A and B are shown apart, each in its own frame.
Chain A
Amino acid sequence: MKRDVIGQYKLPVEVRFCSRCTVSNQRPRISFDENGVCSACNFSDSKKNGINWESRHKELEVLCDKHRKNNGEYDVIVPCSGGKDGSYVAHQLKYEYGMNPLTVTWAPLKATQIGRQNLDAFIASGFDHVLGTPNTEIARKLANLSFRHLGDPFQPFIYGQSNFPLHMAVKYKVPLIMYGENGEVEYGGDMKNAYRPTRDIQDHDKHYFSGMPPEFWQEHGISLKDLYPFMAPGFKEIKSNKTEIHFYSYYKYWDPQENFYYCKENTGFTPNPERSQGTYSKYASLDDEIDGFHYYLAYIKFGLGRATSDSAHEIRDEKITRAEGAALVKRYDHEFPSRYYDIFLEYCDITDAEVHDVIDSWRSDHLWHKVDGEWTLKHAVWYESDQPK
C-alpha cells in the first residue's frame, strides 16, 4: 500500500531547501518567504533583532505575579522529562522568579538509563515531581497501531506529553502551564503563535496528533477507559480551571545549547555517553529508546531526519555554518536506529518485514526513487544542485 504523503500533510510537490539552514519546504506547516528563507530562520532573525527581551522579561514577571499563590500551593505546572529544556524552565521559574512549580513527566515509552538518571538528578536538585505512567500494555498497543496507521510509534507518548500536564493542572487547580520552546516557530511550522505567549488547546489535534486524538483508537478496539490517561481532560474542566498554556521561549531567548550549560551547572544534567543515532548530538532527546523511530519515520516521510532538525537550529543559533550543517545531514540523517531496533520490535510486537512494509508505504514518489536497487532521496540539502547560488 502506498500512502498519500503529499495529501495527508499538505506538502508542496516541488522540493525546496531554505537558503540559510538545512530544512526544506517538506516540513509540515513551514512557510518560505520570497527569498527562499524558511519561517524558522526568519523567526530566528526577529529573536536576535526584533524582539525586546527586556520587555518580555517584564511580561514574565507580570505573569508570575498574577499566578503566584504564596499559600503553599503549586502555582505553575512545568512539563519536564529531566532533559536540558524543561529542567532549565523549572529551575528558572523556581529560583529566579520565586514560583512554586509542580514538575510533571509523562513517562517515556521505554526509558533509557541516562534519561532516568537525569530525571532523578533533576528532582534531587530541588523539585516536587509527578510521574504519569500509563498501562504499558495499552501504550504498546497504541505504539503498534500508530506505527501501522500513522507511521509513527511515538504517538502514545505525544498524547500524554500534551495531555498529562493538563490533567495535573486541573487536578491541582493550577491555571498556568509553562512549556519550554514553541516547536512550531523554533523548528518551522504554524506561525500563528510566534508573537504571543500562549497556545490554543484546540491546536493539539492539528499540531501534535496528526488530526487523530486518542479517542480515535476506539475504532481499533481500545476501550475508552484504557484510553483515558492519554486523553485530555474535558474541555469544560480545562476552561473552568482558566488553564493557560505558555511557552518559555516567548519570554526568554531560546538557545538549546545554553540550556545544556545551565542544566549542567544547576540540575545535575549529564549528556549521553555517545551520540544518538540519526544525529550528532549527545544532549538532546535522550530519554526514550523508541523515539529514534519517530525521527526516522520523519526522515522517510519528509526527507528530513534528526540531524536536519538539530543542524538547522544550530545554524540559526550561529553555532555552525550551513556547509557544516549539510555535511552533518549527509552523514547522519539517514542512519537507521539499529541500537534499539530489537527493543522496538519487541515493544511494538511487530516483525522486521512488517516494519519495512510500513516504512516503504510512506516513501513518497516525489522524494524517493531507487538507484541501483537502493532507496535514495531525490533531493537532499547536500546535493550540489540544491545548494544556493
Chain B
Amino acid sequence: MGNLRIIARLDIKGPNLIKGIHLEGLRVIGPPSEYALRYYKQGADELIYMDCVASLYGRNHLADIVRTATKDIFVPITVGGGIRSVEDALDLLRAGADKVAVNTAATSNPELLSELAERFGSQCLVLSIEAKQVGVDKWEAYIENGRERTGLDVIEWVERGVELGAGEILLTSVDREGTRQGFDYNLIRLVSDAISVPVIASGGMGRPEDIVPAVCQGHADAVAIADLLHYKRATIGEVREVAKREGFTVRTYG
C-alpha cells in the first residue's frame, strides 16, 4: 500500500466549525480557517471540509471557506456537502478544492457519480458514506448528517458507487462518531476488502493509538480525525509518531 494518510476533518455549519456525537448535538468549536491552518502546520496530509447543513438549504456554503483556505494551505482539500450536480462540483473545484465528496444526492441519483467521474476523473470523486450498524456485520447508509435512513446496504452501495466511478470512500461510522471509542475496524475491513479504491476511516478516534487497528485490522488507507484534534487532545504530529513507531509508511514531514 501507499503512504498512510493522516487527514484532518472539519465539519462546517454556517460560518462555524462544529463537532457532534453520533453527528448530533453539534457544538460550535470556532472559526474553520484558524483550525484548518493549525492542522496544515501540524503536518496534515489532507483536509476534509464537510458542510453538514448544505442538504438542508439545498446549496453549499463552502466555496468561500475553501477559497480562503487555499491561500495558505497547500495540501489536498476534499469538500463535501450539498453537491447535487456537475456545476456544484465545478464551483468547489474552481474555488480550490482538489476532490469533491458526495453522499445525499448520490443515494437518490447514483448517475451523478458517473457524471462527475466522467467530467473530472475518479481521482477527484469521493463517495461519502454515513454507516449506521443495523445488525451483525450489516450497516445501513444514512444521509443528511446521520439523520435520515436510505435503506441502502453499505457494502452493496460502496460496490455500486465504485462501479459508477467513485475513486475513494470516506467511511464515517455514525455509531462511533464523536464517541472517542476507537474506529469500527470491522466495518472498515468489510468495506476495504469489498472494493479496490482507497478507504478513509472516520469516526471514533479517541487517541493516537487508535489508528493501529484501523490500519492493521481494518485495512484503512487513511484516517480522518476531528474530535481528537478540535479538542486539542493530540496533534497530527503525535498521530504521525504512532504511525511511524508501528512501521506504517507515512509522508515525511518537516
B148 near A275: Cβ-Cβ < 8 Å: yes
List B residues 13-29 near A (Cβ within 8 Å). 13-14, 21-22, 24-28
- Closest Cβ neighbor of A331 among chain B residues: B56
Assess the B26–A283 pair: CB atoms within 8 A.
Answer: no
Interface positions, chain A 320-340, Cβ under 8 Å from B, are 320-321, 324, 327-328, 331
Interchain CB contact under 8 A, A260 and B24:
yes
**In the complex, which residues 29-88 of chain B have their Cβ closer than 8 Å to any Cβ of chain A?**
53, 56-57
Specify which of B21, B26, B148 is in contact with A274 (CB 8 Å cutoff): B148
Inter-chain contact A271/B28, CB cutoff 8 Å: no
CA distance A261 to B13 in the complex (A): 19
Known: A260-B25, A327-B56. 4 other contacts (CB 8 A): A260-B21, A271-B24, A282-B24, A319-B26
* B interface residues, Cβ below 8 angstroms from A: 13-14, 21-22, 24-28, 53, 56-57, 132, 142, 146-149, 179
Complex Cα gap A318–B13 (Å):
12
A112 within 8 A of B: no
Q: Which residues of A contact B56 (CB under 8 A)?
A: 280, 324, 327-328, 331
A69 at the interface (CB under 8 A from B): no
Is chain B's interface secondary structure helix, strand, loop, or mixed overall?
A: strand
State how many residues of chain A have any CB contact under 8 Å with chain B: 21
The answer to whether B132 and A273 touch across the interface, beta carbons within 8 angstroms, is yes
Report the minimal beta-carbon distance from A208 to chain B, rounded to whole angstroms: 27
Question: For chain A residues 298-335, which have a beta carbon within 8 Å of chain B?
Answer: 318-321, 324, 327-328, 331
Are B24 and A319 interface neighbours, CB within 8 A?
Answer: no
Cβ-neighbour of B28 out of A260, A270, A318, A324 (below 8 A): A318
A387 at the interface (CB under 8 A from B): no
Closest-by-CB residue of B relative to A321 is B14
| Closest Cβ–Cβ distance, residue B146 to chain A (whole Å) | 8
Q: Residues of B contacting A271 with CB < 8 Å?
A: 21-22, 24-25
A58 within 8 A of B: no
Smallest CB–CB gap between A315 and chain B, Å?
12
Between-chain CB contacts (< 8 Å), 26 pairs: A257-B25, A257-B26, A257-B27, A260-B25, A261-B27, A264-B25, A271-B21, A271-B24, A273-B132, A274-B142, A274-B147, A274-B148, A280-B56, A283-B25, A319-B26, A319-B27, A320-B13, A320-B14, A321-B14, A324-B13, A324-B53, A327-B53, A327-B56, A327-B57, A328-B56, A331-B56
